[in-house]
Amino acid sequence: MPTKKKAPVTPGQRQMVVQDYSVLTKKEPEKSLTLPLKKTGGRNRDGRITVRHRGGGEKRKYRIVDFGQEKMGIPAKVEAIEYDPNRSAFIMLLCYKDGERRYRLAPDGIKVGDEVICDEKAPLKIGNRMKLKHIPLGSFVYNVELWPGQGGRIARSAGSSAQLLSREDGWAILQLPSKEIRKVSEECFATLGKVSNPDHKSEVLGKAGKSRHRGRRPAVRGSAMNPCDHPHGGGEGKAPIGLKHPKTPWGKPALGVKTRKKKWTDKLIIKRRK
């Protein structure tokens, strides 16, 4: 989907790059597939901030997206491609042959009127969902399950996809968007194609107000604080971090420190991401 560079009419629009939403076909979401979404402002049940830089923003409705395969073997027609404020990708409204409507992640290149199906073995067409053991090697897939029946977990953000490299002993070898290579059971389901809205990464907000509309509050650099407020604070003028390794405001190591804990799934990772 193409992007548009704004004319420099105002200071905020001088660097702004926005998306061309002409591919979207519907404005209002399907009422039966939405839920109210309560904002927390980054606070827990005690009212204390546990996630910084959250708050405000436009009111949203949550769209109930089917990440699994609850409608097996029933063909569906794409009725609309819609914007979802809760994710970077677009979603498609499907109308199944039995009359039920559901949201699913839209693949790049899907059009209104196209027909898709989710089945154990389905035609090799963008948007169709099937088991990894029936997908040709080298294909790009998205919304991949990590464990059979769990529902899609991998490659769900805008423009992302995983590539099926090979199969061996009941396992499918996938290269993830991070270039990590790992094993996934070939009984897991995946959708053919790449996630829609690949130009999301090219978007430039241009002004602070667009961040506030998304519910993001300002962040202050640690080096601009006092020593009592941050390990990077203090000093005369613009002082570098120096011999102190990069730290969080609470003194824990940051930037480049491994944070993944040991999991039983580590044995399924063939090659870690760079």
pLDDT of residue 85: 95
Torsion sign over Cα 225, 226, 228, 233? positive
Residue extents of the structural domains in the chain: 3-201
Structure tokens at 166: 């090979």
Q: Quick one: tokens of 245?
A: 């390794």
> Which pairing describes strands 17-19 and 3-5: parallel, antiparallel, or unpaired?
antiparallel
- Cβ atoms of residues 223 and 233 within 8 Å: yes
Residue 241, pLDDT above cutoff 90: no
Q: 100-130, pLDDT tens digit by residue?
A: 999 999 999 999 999 999 999 999 999 999 9
Mean pLDDT of the chain, nearest integer: 93
d(CA 194, CA 211): 27
Percentage above 90 pLDDT, the chain: 86
Indicate if the pLDDT at residue 243 is higher than 80. Answer: no
What's the CATH superfamily of 3-201? Nucleic acid-binding proteins (2.40.50.140)
Query: What pLDDT is recorded for position 205?
Result: 94
Q: What 8-state DSSP symbol labels residue 46?
A: T
Report residue 274 CA to chain centroid gap: 20
Distance between CA 10 and CA 31 in Å, rounded?
A: 37
* pTM (2 d.p.): 0.90
pLDDT tens digits for 172-200? 999 999 999 999 999 999 999 999 999 99
Q: How confident is the model at residue 244 (pLDDT cuts 50, 70, 90)?
A: low
Q: Which residues contact 13 (CB under 8 A, 6 or more apart)?
A: 6, 7, 206, 207
